[in-house]
Structure formats: structure tokens, C-alpha cells
Chains A and B, each alone.
Chain A
Amino acid sequence: MLILYIDFKSAASYLALEPTLELAQESEITIDWRPFSVRPFSVPVEQDEETVGERHRRVRAAAQRDVHLHYAAVQGRNMHFADTPAGSDAALAALAVIEGDPVPFIRAAFAAYWSKQADLADEAVVEILLRSVGIDRPDWQKAKAEMASIRSKAEESGIFEAPSYLIADQLFLGREHLPWIRSLIAAEQGD
């Protein structure tokens, strides 16, 4: 079992989706998808008088955005960073209580967020997405409580960002670890 924490508003989570699904398919491992809301991403506007730290954060954010766009192109994926990023908590709450295969919803939610700038904090928007993949609207109160519970346990496990992979008692942040994760799965399967 591979536990994977994602957030729809995390570009790195979006770009991790298909490579992780490929890994799961080839290794026949189940993924336990869990929601973990991260801070919205934005590139700070350049100020006339920046501190070194402010300039560092701005340059880093711009570089991260450019690298995400670079690899989105490598993956053949449409990706657009909105000037004012929307939220994702309603979609994450829905993910917390989906029974059965959540992947169609996950794909739909990521695509809606990163290509159409859908507001995934809006329950009505999320209900349309759920219906598009044949899933009924959740009990929102229960979904939010479940999401909060998952977050609390995640933080106890040391999770602080997304995508975060948990396997064999190891925490990996980012899809760049997939080679090692693949080797751990193989070891667990006795290859």
C-alpha cells in the first residue's frame, strides 16, 4: 500500500498524478489517496525595496512556476497558473469520503483547476465535477470532519506538503522520489 497525500491546488501534485498511476499499474500496488491542503501558490510581486529574503522567495517562486510549466510541457499537459489562485478545500473534503475508485474524480478536479481555474473551494463546483464522474454529492459536514481528521493524523506523521508519499515508514516529498519508491515496492513484493 502506497499512501499519497495530494492537494488539487498543488502543481507538483498534479504533475505527480500520471507518473504515480503508471507506477501503481506496473507494480500492481494500491494507492491510498488522501487530501492535504497546502498553502496557495503565488509569485510575489517585485517590490521597489526588497530584503534579500523577500527577493529570494520571489525568485524561488518564479523558478518553481517555470519548472512546473517546463515539465507540464514534457508531460504534454495543459497548465495555467492563475494570478489569484482558487481554493481546493471542498474538493479535498469530497476526496476524503469517496468510496470506490477516486481516480476519475481526481483527474477531473486537477484538470478543472489547472486548465479552467475552477474554484474547488466551491461546493457547487465540486458537485458538478462529482456528477461528471458518476459520484453523488457527499454529506459535506461529514466530509469536512473527515478531512480535518486526516490532516491531524497526517501532521502527526510529519506531513507538511503535497505530494507526500508514505511507504515502508519513509516519507518522500515529490514525484522525483518515484525511482526509490519503485525499489521499495519491489522489495516489499520480494522481487
Chain B
Amino acid sequence: MNALESDAPLIVYVDIKSPYAFAAIRPTLALEKSLGMRFDWRPLTLDIPSYLGSARKKEGKVVESTRSTSQWSWVKYAYRDARRYAERQGLMLKGTEKIWDSSIPNIGILWVMQTARDRLGDYFEAVYPPFWRRELDIEDMAVVEACLQKAGIDSSGFAEFALGEGRAEHDKLQPQLHPSGIYGVPTYVIDGTILFGREHLPYVRWHLQGREGPAPDIAYEIDDHKAQPC
């Protein structure tokens, strides 16, 4: 899998533990559905401590932190911002108490893409909202298997895939991302152009619809009717 190449019209990189990806899932699925296209969804498992410092909370209080004041300002704002947009979609977003290893549910994206493509939206619905309500231990294989089953996806063989072929595919993709210019989620790759953030969805839509008329500027769309669960 090449980080920038796909047979699909658009590559979408997401991570289960990203609040910005969480807020982008339904609008991006809605775009895919409205265009009648199939995007190439892929995992990008963020290494958050490497660029935003690390922190651990207990009962809402920070008990460990290597973050600077400006890093905390960014993180706090990012959560507030993602939360208000999630709430517009009827979703709850609680700040996480630690930085999770999201690789297992992210490998789950690869599994669904290979075995049950039409149920990808159901998988995201089974994982993202409960994780952001702090109801899922996404580091537990059995929990991710249960999410697959809840989404109507056969999970037999997933554990083996997540430890073997899927893990290898995931781990092979991650080191390609920085050298390709990809650093965060959601990232949209469209004809080699890399766009980070769901504010680019108006541009992505315009491009995929044939680039008619003037190109749109960036904007977070707030038409909630277009972002219902799929």
C-alpha cells in the first residue's frame, strides 16, 4: 500500500483516538454516500507524545504531563472545538484520560475494508461514539471484536489478522506517512494533493464533482442533515 496512491478517487486517513477525526467521520461518510463513490479509508495511528507532549489524567485531574503551556492551550482548544461540532451531530465527546494505543481498532479499518466494505460506516458507529463516551477499552482485542460484531461484521479471524497480516500492513504504512507529507487526521489525499482537516470537505466535494464553477474556500460545514449516521 503506497501512502499517496489508490484506485479510489479519494484516500481518507483517520485514527479512532483523534477527536478531529471523530467529528469528521459522519460528514465524510455523508459525502461519500452523496457522491455514490467509494473512498479508500486507511488508518493513521498518531504518535501524539512525539509532537504534543504526553499527559495522563485521573478523575479529571492531570497527574502526569510533559506538555508546555502552548501545547496545553492547543490541546484544550482542540477538544473544546471538536466537542462543539460533535455535539452538533448529536455525539458526546469526553476528553480521554490517557493517550491510547489505537492500533487495534485502526487495524480493524483495514479488516473491514477487506472483508465487509459496505459496513464501514457501521463499524465507525460501533467504535467512535462509545470510545468517545469512555465506554470502550480499545486496547483490548475482544472489545474491538465485539465492535465488529455489533456492526454486523464477521470477526472470526480478526485477532489473527490484527496480530499478523493486518499488523504488518498497518506497520508498513505508518513510516511512509511523514515522508509523504501526511502528519495528522483526518487527511484527505486527492489526486496527490494532501489536505489535513475536515474544513477541506467543500473543496474535496467540488473537486470530485468535476471542478465546476469557482473553487470553495475552507469551511466546517454545519448542515447537520448531511451528517446522519450511515
Which positions in A face B, CB cutoff 8 Å? Answer: 15, 19, 51-53, 55-57, 59-60, 62-63, 66-67, 70-71, 74-75, 158, 160, 170-180, 183
Contacts and interface: CB of A to CB of B under 8 A. Distances in A.
Interface in B66-82: 70, 73-74, 77, 80-81
B43 interface: no
B193 A56 contact: no
B97 interface: no
Contacts, number: 73
Contact of B70 (A53, A74, A160, A176): A160
Interface residues of B, number: 31
A160 B217 contact: no
Name which of B74, B80, B203, B219 has the most chain A CB atoms within 10 A of its CB: B219
A67 B195 contact: yes
Contacts of A177: 220
Interface of A is mostly: helix
Contacts of B215: 74
22 contacts: A52-B178, A53-B51, A55-B178, A56-B51, A56-B183, A57-B51, A59-B181, A59-B182, A71-B217, A74-B203, A74-B214, A160-B70, A160-B74, A160-B77, A174-B218, A175-B218, A175-B219, A176-B197, A176-B219, A176-B220, A178-B219, A183-B222
Given A70-B193, A160-B73, A56 B217 contact: no
B184 A53 contact: no
A176 B218 contact: yes
A91 B109 CA distance: 50
